[in-house]
Structure 1
Amino acid sequence: MTVNFQYVDIDVSDTLSDLTTEKLEKLANKFEFLISAQVYFKHDEKDHDSGKICNIELSLPGPRIFATSNEKNYEMAMSETINDLTRQLKKRKEVYKTH
């Protein structure tokens, strides 16, 4: 699975990229129909309590799956986003089983 990162208004973090890639690879092993992932890390200046945003868009057969979360730090945002994607992928896998 191909993973593309975009850091919007923040510095590029290799550790964050590696951690995200590792979690997405686990997801790809579980759901073999994944093609690629677009990962966006953003910072919202207006939100002082959280403001660390992670958006992930997964490309797979059929419509793309998208999830986003806004947390206190980027690791928490990334974990929450991947949890949301996992829930969506489980539903999608059930649809594939019926066909």
Structure 2
Amino acid sequence: MNIIFEYHNVTASARLEEFTTKHINKLFDKYDFIVRADVFFKTENVSEENKGKICNIRLSAPGPRLFSESSTGSFEASAKESIGELERQLSKRKDKLRSH
């Protein structure tokens, strides 16, 4: 299980990586078929205060890759939202794997 972080127009942050790694490891523990996670943090110029900090997460697992993107006012909230979406996708994927 690998977690790769990429930053676009954002300064790398050990605290942010630690936070995200902690939450992604919970997914790894629950869904042992995950191979790798790619996490992208970037900023976007927007007029709204509660948007613009984007977190994209791509998971490699059997079948098509899983992807989630969210944009909120902080990277932590964006990461949590993306991970929550991936949790739902992984649950559906696990049900499909179990039925075969």
Report TM bin, short chain: over 0.9
Q: TM-score, normalised by structure 2?
A: 0.96
Q: Percent identity?
A: 40
Equivalent pairs, count: 99
Q: TM-score, normalised by structure 1?
A: 0.97
Asked if 1:78 corresponds to 2:62, the answer is no
Match of 1:43 in 2: 43
The alpha carbon displacement at 1:48 in A equals 3.9
What runs of 5+ residues in structure 2 fail to find an aligned partner?
A: none
What runs of 5+ residues in structure 1 fail to find an aligned partner?
A: none
* Aligned-CA RMSD value: 0.8
State how far apart, in whole Å, the 2-side matches of 1:48 and 1:14 are: 27
Amino acid corresponding to residue 45 of structure 2 in structure 1: E
Match of 1:17 in 2: 17
Match of 2:66 in 1: 65
Amino acid corresponding to residue 6 of structure 2 in structure 1: Q
Larger deviation: 40-49 or 23-32? 40-49
Match of 1:87 in 2: 88
Structure 1 ranges of 4+ moved more than 3 A: none
1:44 and 1:30, CA in 2 relative to 1: closer, same or farther beyond 3 A? Answer: same
The alpha carbon displacement at 1:46 in A equals 2.9
